[in-house]
Structures are given as C-alpha cells and as structure tokens.
Amino acid sequence: MNKHQQSGMTTLLITSMLLIVALLFSLASYKNLFYQIKRTQNEVLARQAHWAAEGGLECGFAQIQKAGNISDAILTDCNNGQELTLSTDNGKSVLTSETDNKYKKIAKTIVAGGARSSGVIKSSADLFFNGKYNISPDYINESGDDKCNIIRYQKNIYLNKYDKQLSAINNKDIKSKCANEYSTENVTSRTKLEKDVYKDIGMDLFKETFGVDRSNWKEVKDKHFFNSDKTIGSSCLDKIEAGIAQGKRHIWITGDCILDDNAIKKLPQQNSSEESLFILVHNGILSLDGVGLYKAIFYLFINENISVGAQWDGTAIDPRDPKMYVTTDEDKISAIDFSLKTIAYLNGSHRPIGGFIFDASGYVIYFRLSIDLDYDGEFINDLLAPFGKPTWQQGSWHDF
C-alpha cells in the first residue's frame, strides 16, 4: 500500500474523530440548553399559577370586605381559573385558593374585626344590679341551637337585696326564640342565672370591638372618633353636641362623663330621625342619672388607674349607706370595698336602644335603675361597622 494513501486515511480518521467529538459536545450543550428552556417555562407557569391563586385570594377577600363579615361573603363569584374554600377552626378563618389544574394552592388567615360580639351588656368590670332589668337578647343561633345572650361578664355579678326588695334580671324574649336554658326569667339570685348570662373569663373587649390590641387605642381614636379634647365647653354634653354638630356619630370623651336627666333627653331619642351615637368614655367616671329613651352605645374604656370613691359621697351609693350594697348571695364584700371600685353609676329609668360595654377590669359598674333595654342587631352592626372590617393576619401566608 502506498505511504501517501495511508497518510490521507489517517488524516480522514482523525478528522472524523474530531467531528464526532465536536458533535457529542454540541449534543450535550443542546441538552443543557433544552433543560434551561424547559426550566424557564416551568418557572413562568409556576408564577402564572401563583398569581392566579393569589388573585383568587384577593377577590375572595374583597367579597368578604364587601359583605362586611366572613359568613355572608359570596365566594363563587371569584371562581375564574381557581377554586376558593373557606374553613373555620378554633375561631380562625382560613381562605384557600387553588388553581383548577391543582398546580398551585395558597392560603391566608383572615381576622374579622370583632365588632359583632355577643352580648347586650358586656363587661370586664364587676356588675352590681340594684333594680329591675328587662333585656331583649342578642340571638346567636350557632349550630342550629337557639342560643341567646343578654349579659356577658368576666368575673362577678351581684344582685342587691334590701329588706323585701329584690333586684331581678329578666330576658324579655323568654322561650320565644331562645332555648329554655338560655331564658333567664326574673332571677333574683345569681346562682339561678341561665346561660344567657354568660361568664367569659377570656374576654378582650377592646380587641373584639375594634379589631386591634388595646395598646393601639390612639390609632382607633384618631381614625374613627370625633376628638372632643379641644371642644369649647367642659361638660360631657357639650362634647357630645359638638360631635353631632359636625355630623359625627362616634365621639371620644376623655375624662368624666356625667349626664343628668336634661342631658340624657338631649341624646338622640328613640322616635326621632337623629342618627344613633357611639359614645366612648376614656379614663373617667360614667354617670347616667335620669329618665331616657335614647339611641346610643356607651363604651367605658379604662386603661389607667382611676381614683374613685369620693365622687359618690352624698349620692345614692354613698358608702356610708351599707344597705345599698347588700347582696342576695351574701357576698362578704363591704360597702367601702364596692364604692372604692365603682367607676360607673347608672340611675333612674332608661329605655335605650343599643347596649353597654364596660372595658374596665378591676372596677365595679353600679346599676340602680329600672331598665327596659331593646337590642337591635342591625342598629348595633351599623354603629360598629367602621371597626369590623376583616383583615389579613400578618405572617399567615408563605410563598413556598
């Protein structure tokens, strides 16, 4: 064989080998490129699925805010490429959005502003009743049961007994819509109270009313209330009327609020066209003394130590008149002990539409009146609506 022919064959072989190696490298490179393209496409699809699910959550949340509460929201209007489900467990509501192809599912926890909490009279302070009390109930209706609530308290209830006069608490809607065990009927001893008078040791009235911790009270005041601090006129009525004059329904009173008979009659009356009021008294004594048929919620908010006792000297609850503090259950508490803790005094004959909220742990609320309290759920929802907007629970969502 010719030497030159063998040399050409060697060159061809080497060239072929180099081409094959180059081809192998090219194929490997293309395989990696295809992988990167596929990975990029998957990431795009993943983000598209994520934002579709996120859009479902935002739509559902908008429906909940529009409805004003979680239970009345219409979530089916948001099922456009994703499915929404709402679950409630241990008081927490979780909204879940999942794409139709099951590719992505995300969830967030919703915190409902607790503006709509059960009870007509709600109190973290002790309640001392001296008189006759007819209260229409707040209907709860959980799990098909006819549950009702007229009073929700944190620690103690006392009923006064003087000679043959016994104080009594009565549910005005006995056995109509309320189950038997939720129908307190002219009870004169706290040991006989039914389940419509409910002890709730874990209540947090500020948070359930305004949806935030009580340490954020300044934020609530600035955002929702007419600030009467700079009002011309020193009386509580002056401050309330200043708020009404500016078209305000939520009025913040700093310090004492003492309303006599004439002042109570200047509140929005039951049969008038005037709008109802939410009156918050902050770190002061609340005294309502007279005859009234008014449309208002009174909220007493105490977050500082308030010196009380001397204000009641010479009044009907003067601690020197121990008969005012005789209880039906023979509690071993002296008149002095009661008067030194009494932060609110309600006296006379009242027929309010609304309710009372006493956020004053460690103090006593003294009722010495005949009361016929009508509870109107729509009225309450209307007044408390600004505080009850649902919000996302911070930190409840993770994008992984």
The model's pLDDT over 375-388, given as tens digits with 9 standing for 90+, comes to 777 777 778 777 86
CB 368 within 8 A of CB 316: yes
In the predicted structure, residue 124 carries a pLDDT above the cut 60: yes
Q: Which residues contact 71 (CB under 8 A, 6 or more apart)?
A: none
Tell me the two tokens of residue 295: 């449309």
- pLDDT-derived band at 117, boundaries 50, 70, 90: low
Tell me the two tokens of residue 9: 């064959």
Average pLDDT value over all residues in the chain: 80
Tell me the two tokens of residue 357: 């909220």
In the predicted structure, residue 360 carries a pLDDT above the cut 90: yes
Q: What is the mean pLDDT of residues 239-254?
A: 93
Instruction: Tell me which amino acid residue 171 is.
Output: N
Q: Coil, strand or helix: which one is 135?
A: strand
**pTM (global) more than 0.75:** no
Q: What is the mean pLDDT of residues 41-56?
A: 74
Q: Coil, strand or helix: which one is 307?
A: coil
Which among 210, 181, 208 is positioned nearest to 196, based on CA atoms? 181
CB 129 within 8 A of CB 161: no
Per the rule left: phi > 0, alpha: psi between -120 and 50, beta: everything else, 371 is beta
Question: Distance (Å, rounded) from C-alpha 325 to C-alpha 338?
Answer: 8
- pLDDT-derived band at 302, boundaries 50, 70, 90: very high
Domain residue extents for the chain:
3-112, 121-387
In the predicted structure, residue 330 carries a pLDDT above the cut 70: no
Question: Distance (Å, rounded) from C-alpha 243 to C-alpha 203?
Answer: 30
**Model confidence pLDDT, tens digit, residues 282-295:** 999 999 998 888 89
Q: What is the mean pLDDT of residues 54-58?
A: 76
In the predicted structure, residue 396 carries a pLDDT above the cut 60: no
Question: Distance (Å, rounded) from C-alpha 348 to C-alpha 367?
Answer: 9
Question: Distance (Å, rounded) from C-alpha 88 to C-alpha 174?
Answer: 31
- pLDDT-derived band at 319, boundaries 50, 70, 90: low
Q: In what helix (H) or strand (E) does residue 39 lie, and over which residues does it extend?
A: helix 3-67
H helices then E strands: how many in the chain? Answer: 7, 24
DSSP letters for 316-354: TT-TT-GGGG-BTT-----HHHHHTTEEEEEEEEE--EE
Which among 189, 131, 128, 153 is positioned nearest to 364, based on CA atoms? 128
Q: What is the mean pLDDT of residues 140-148?
A: 65
In the predicted structure, residue 115 carries a pLDDT above the cut 50: no
Q: In what helix (H) or strand (E) does residue 37 lie, and over which residues does it extend?
A: helix 3-67
Handedness of CA 244, 249, 254, 256 (dihedral sign): positive
In the predicted structure, residue 321 carries a pLDDT above the cut 50: yes
- pLDDT-derived band at 400, boundaries 50, 70, 90: very low
